[in-house]
Amino acid sequence: MKTIVRCFLVALMALMTCFNGGAAFAETPSDQSFSPDPKIQKIAEAYSLDTVDFSMKQFGIKLDWSDASIANVEQALAQMNSSYVGTTPKPTDDQVMSFAKAYGSYVGEVYRRNHGGEWGMVTLGGNRFPGMRTTSGASFWPWGRAFNRITKGAEDNVTDYYMALLKK
């Protein structure tokens, strides 16, 4: 267990140099709007490229931009959740969001590259945060889902999430 915690903390420090914190996210959109934002796409592209390298170095996990690679993202996030649960004191939300941005960006970029869609700002309940819109008009929040996977556990499985997106 100490090795996992140490791994998590080392990984956290490495990613903190690449990513910085904070975002809001929601579950079911009812009063949402979406504004495309090419700057967010560029940020997500950079995060996702770093995530490919980081996953191989830190976890020995290959991410190849395929839909099937989302299962590997789930594996990395499951390891982070195990470390998160066993770490006292807990990393801050901003620290966890660093990982969520990284892995959520990869999930979003795999979706965009393979199925279309665009990055932008979602407004929901008066809060604005980065998210995506599919070509069919559905919005989703990969950063928020990755954050929940790390902090809450398997109930927020990203593979299941991604497969549900493919059915929309």
| Residues 116-158 pLDDT 10s | 999 999 888 888 889 999 999 989 999 999 999 999 999 999 9
CA 151/CA 146 separation, integer angstroms: 9
Domains of the chain: 2-8+31-167 (1.20.120.1090)
Q: Which residue has the tokens 């998590």?
A: 8
pLDDT digits (tens, 9 = 90+) for 8-36: 433 433 333 333 333 333 334 455 789 99
**E strand segments, 5-116:** 33-36
Predicted confidence (pLDDT) per residue in 90-127, tens digit? 999 999 999 999 999 999 999 999 999 999 998 888 88
pLDDT attached to residue 30: 52
Read off the pLDDT of each residue in 159-168 and give the average, rounded to a whole number.
Answer: 94
- Name the percent of the chain lying above pLDDT 90: 73
Going from the C-alpha of 138 to that of each of 32, 107, 131, the distances in angstroms are 10, 15, 11
